[in-house]
Chain A
Amino acid sequence: MKKHLKVILLIISITFLQITPSYTNEDVSKSGISYDEIYDPIEPINRAVLNFNFFIDDIAIKPIVKTYKFIAPDPVEKGVSNFFSNLKEPIRTVSFIFQGEFYKSFNSIGRFTLNTLTSLGTFDLASRVGMEKNETDFGITLAKGGVSSGPYIVLPIIGPSNLRDFSGDVVEYFVDPLSNNVPNREYIDIGSGLNERVEIDEQLDKVRDASSDRYEMIKSIYYQNRNAQLEEEYIQNLPVPKIYIE
Chain B
Amino acid sequence: MKNFIILLTIIFSFSTLEASEVSEWFEKESNQFLEIINNNQGTESENYEKYKHFVNKNFAVKSIAYGLIGESIVNKSSKNELSAYLNVFTDYLITTIYKLANSNTSSSITLKDVDVKDDIYIIKSEISDKKSSANLYWKVIRTGSSFKIIDVIVENTSYFVTKKSEFNKILRKNRGSLEALIKEIKKI
- Interface on A for B, CB 8 Å cutoff? 27, 35-38, 74, 206, 210-213, 216-217, 219-221, 224-225, 227-228, 234-236, 238-246
- Interface on B for A, CB 8 Å cutoff? 60-64, 66-68, 70-71, 96, 99-100, 103, 115, 117, 120, 122, 131, 137, 139, 141, 143, 148, 150-151, 153, 155-158, 160-162, 164-166, 168-170, 184-185, 187-188
Going nearest first, the 3 A-B pairs with the smallest beta carbon separation are: A241-B67, A228-B156, A220-B165
Given A217-B166, A224-B162, A243-B141: A238 and B68 interface contact (C-beta under 8 Å):
no
The answer, among B63, B155, B168, for a CB contact under 8 Å with A243, is: B63
A205 to chain B, nearest CB (A): 8
Asked if B165 contacts A211 (CB within 8 A), the reply is no
Given A212-B187, A235-B153, A236-B122: A219 and B66 interface contact (C-beta under 8 Å):
no
Asked if B169 contacts A213 (CB within 8 A), the reply is yes
Asked if A242 contacts B143 (CB within 8 A), the reply is no
The answer, among B99, B131, B161, for a CB contact under 8 Å with A220, is: B161
Number of A-B contacts (CB under 8 A): 100
Chain A residues in 8 Å Cβ range of B168? 36-37
Which chain B residue lies CB-closest to A36? B168
Asked if B66 contacts A216 (CB within 8 A), the reply is no
Given A224-B157, A240-B120: A246 and B165 interface contact (C-beta under 8 Å):
no
Asked if B166 contacts A212 (CB within 8 A), the reply is yes
Task: Write 26 A-B pairs (CB below 8 A) sorted by A numbering.
Answer: A210-B99, A212-B166, A212-B184, A212-B188, A213-B169, A216-B169, A217-B166, A220-B161, A221-B157, A221-B162, A224-B156, A224-B162, A225-B156, A234-B156, A235-B153, A238-B151, A239-B161, A240-B67, A241-B64, A241-B66, A241-B67, A243-B150, A244-B60, A246-B60, A246-B61, A246-B63
A226 to chain B, nearest CB (A): 9
Asked if A241 contacts B150 (CB within 8 A), the reply is yes
Asked if B164 contacts A212 (CB within 8 A), the reply is no
Cα–Cα, bound, A167→B100 (Å)? 36
Asked if B166 contacts A213 (CB within 8 A), the reply is yes
Cα–Cα, bound, A216→B161 (Å)? 11
